[in-house]
């Protein structure tokens, strides 16, 4: 079967060399039982390639199932894939077959394989190497004959180097890698795809197919399409429904193109783009934040005590500006650097100084600092990330008077994540 016949059969539009190469690889590997790893950005059509491989294989008359690993909760994915025995966990009222048992002889497509938990990865590796699996709560080894096709929009090798993905599983999955090109890498296909989509939507909504003038076509072709083919299809449908003119200009097209989305995640000063992706969840971000705060406080303690012990340093410290302190300690705010809080003098000789620290009740208590200070004791503050996270959640809820939606927005997490953490930390609504 030639490539054009395959494109017609599976509704693939385009003639970009990178697309044709990926299709040709899929056709060649389909007749084997090799494990295939399909790599590509979200929305490029990775599942279509898995269907092509299954339809052209000797397993085409046997079951095919697509599983989104990122959509299954971590606590139940083992049961979904490998099954469980009655009573193996709370809610397991009956025994249940997993996908690897029900699809025996067929093909299973594991989408978003990079989201699979490490424990499940070990089970999957055993299936790939020996064809054996064990149900959750059972000790009986069972055999299965399933071809695995995996897909990911992440760089799994980088995940493996960070310990987030098993390296042995990566090399086992990528026996034959297929990289599906993004839409911005096949610009010559954008106009063909757009024309196909607007014709389909015109038939569905009983209207005339939408057209673009030359300037609008150039704008469409040069748009980066981060959502790839899926985004282009949604855009074509939106324009077909909302456009009031049969021919769109570039200015009219810009009204439909989304504005650039700016990430709300905290970014470290001076960090490279390579490191910005290291913070994959809110716990890592909070841990880094608290670590930097403790480091800044410790440095300030050391600097203040060195000035007390060595009068010659007082002159240099007197020349510190608010800007220099803010540069050295980025986590401090300007209110902490007002003269009332930071005051350094240059005396001729260190004399006992009476300071008035303020306690938690707002009352000042005199403390005498003697010139013979040779040591100090650092009080280690708690760096338990769960305590700090719980404290921040409580503060956010109090700040927004118990409104979870506003609190989750302020914390930079989803409302669903906030609800889960309220349960996890046993926090009542405030």
Q: 84: buried, middle or exposed (CB in 10 Å: 19+, 13-18, 0-12)?
A: buried
Query: Sign of the C-alpha dihedral, residues 188, 190, 193, 194?
Result: negative
Helix 404-411, helix 385-399: angle, nearest 10 = 130
In the structure encoding, which two tokens stand for residue 294, read together? 């403790």
Non-local CB neighbours of 140 within 8 Å, separated by 6+ positions? 134
Domains in the chain and their CATH numbers?
3-181 (3.40.50.300), 184-254 (1.10.8.60), 264-360+370-380 (no CATH), 385-424 (1.10.10)
Q: 373: buried, middle or exposed (CB in 10 Å: 19+, 13-18, 0-12)?
A: exposed
Q: What are phi and psi of 214, to 5 degrees?
A: -60, -45
Dist CA 319 CA 307 (whole Å):
13
Looking at residue 2, what is its pLDDT?
84
Closest by Cα among 269, 274, 309 to 288 = 269
Looking at residue 311, what is its pLDDT?
63
Non-local CB neighbours of 208 within 8 Å, separated by 6+ positions? 202, 246
Q: How many CA atoms lie within 13 A of 229 on its CB side?
A: 23
Closest by Cα among 42, 36, 136 to 84 = 136
Q: What are phi and psi of 66, to 5 degrees?
A: -110, 130
Looking at residue 314, what is its pLDDT?
56
* Strands 147-152 and 107-111, sheet pairing: parallel
pTM of the model: 0.60
**How many CB atoms neighbour CB 23 within 10 A?**
21
**How many CB atoms neighbour CB 234 within 10 A?**
13
Per-residue pLDDT tens, the chain, 430 aa: give them. Answer: 688 999 999 999 999 999 999 999 999 999 999 999 999 999 999 999 999 999 999 999 999 999 999 999 988 999 999 999 988 888 888 899 999 999 999 999 999 999 999 999 999 999 999 999 999 999 999 999 999 999 999 999 999 999 999 999 999 998 999 999 999 999 999 999 999 999 999 999 998 999 999 999 999 999 999 999 999 999 999 999 998 899 999 999 999 998 764 333 344 434 444 444 444 456 566 666 666 777 777 777 777 777 777 766 555 555 544 455 455 555 455 554 454 444 444 444 444 444 454 444 445 454 444 444 444 444 455 556 777 788 888 888 888 888 888 888 888 888 878 878 887 777 876 6
Looking at residue 370, what is its pLDDT?
46
3-state secondary structure 343-412: CCCCCCCCCCEEECCECCCCCECCEEECCCCCCCCCCCCCCCHHHHHHHHHHHHHHHCCCCHHHHHHHHC
Closest by Cα among 89, 63, 96, 85 to 75 = 89
Query: Sign of the C-alpha dihedral, residues 48, 50, 54, 57?
Result: positive
Looking at residue 393, what is its pLDDT?
84
Dist CA 149 CA 50 (whole Å):
7
């Amino acid at each position: 079967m030639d490539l054009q016949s395959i494109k017609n059969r599976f509704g693939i539009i385009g003639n970009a060399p990178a697309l044709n190469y990926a299709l040709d690889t899929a056709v060649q590997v389909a007749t084997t039982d090799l494990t295939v790893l399909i790599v590509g950005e979200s929305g490029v059509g990775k599942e279509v390639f898995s269907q092509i491989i299954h339809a052209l294989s000797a397993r085409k008359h046997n079951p095919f199932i697509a599983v989104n690993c990122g959509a299954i909760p971590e606590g139940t994915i083992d049961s979904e894939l490998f099954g469980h025995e009655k009573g193996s966990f709370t809610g397991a009222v009956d025994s249940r077959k997993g996908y690897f048992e029900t699809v025996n002889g067929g093909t299973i497509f594991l989408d978003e394989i990079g989201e699979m938990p490490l424990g499940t990865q070990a089970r999957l590796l055993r299936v790939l190497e020996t064809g054996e699996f064990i149900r959750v709560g059972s000790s009986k080894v069972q055999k299965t004959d399933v071809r695995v096709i995996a897909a990911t929009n992440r760089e799994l090798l980088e995940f493996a180097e960070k310990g987030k993905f098993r390296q042995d599983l990566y090399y086992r999955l990528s026996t034959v890698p297929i990289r599906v090109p993004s839409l911005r890498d096949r610009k010559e296909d954008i106009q063909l795809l757009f024309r196909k989509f607007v014709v389909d939507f015109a038939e569905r909504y009983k209207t005339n197919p939408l057209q673009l003038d030359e300037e609008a076509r150039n704008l469409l072709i040069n748009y980066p399409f981060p959502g790839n083919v899926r985004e282009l299809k949604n855009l074509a449908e939106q324009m077909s429904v909302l456009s009031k003119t049969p021919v769109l200009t570039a200015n009219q097209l810009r009204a439909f193109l989304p504005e650039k989305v700016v990430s709300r995640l905290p970014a470290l000063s001076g960090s490279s783009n390579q490191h910005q992706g290291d913070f994959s969840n809110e716990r890592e971000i909070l841990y880094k934040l608290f670590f930097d705060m403790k480091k800044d406080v410790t440095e300030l303690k050391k600097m203040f005590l060195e000035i007390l012990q060595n009068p010659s340093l007082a002159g240099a410290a007197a020349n510190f500006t608010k800007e220099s302190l803010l540069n050295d300690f980025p986590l401090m705010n300007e209110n902490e650097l007002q003269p009332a809080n930071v005051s350094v003098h240059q005396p001729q000789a260190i004399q006992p100084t009476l300071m008035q620290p303020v306690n938690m009740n707002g009352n000042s208590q005199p403390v005498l600092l003697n010139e013979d200070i040779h040591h100090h004791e650092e009080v280690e503050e708690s760096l338990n990330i769960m305590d700090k996270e719980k404290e921040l959640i409580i503060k956010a809820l109090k700040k927004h008077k118990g409104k979870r939606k506003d609190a989750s927005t302020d914390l930079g997490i989803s409302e669903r994540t906030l609800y889960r953490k309220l349960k996890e930390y046993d926090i009542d609504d405030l």
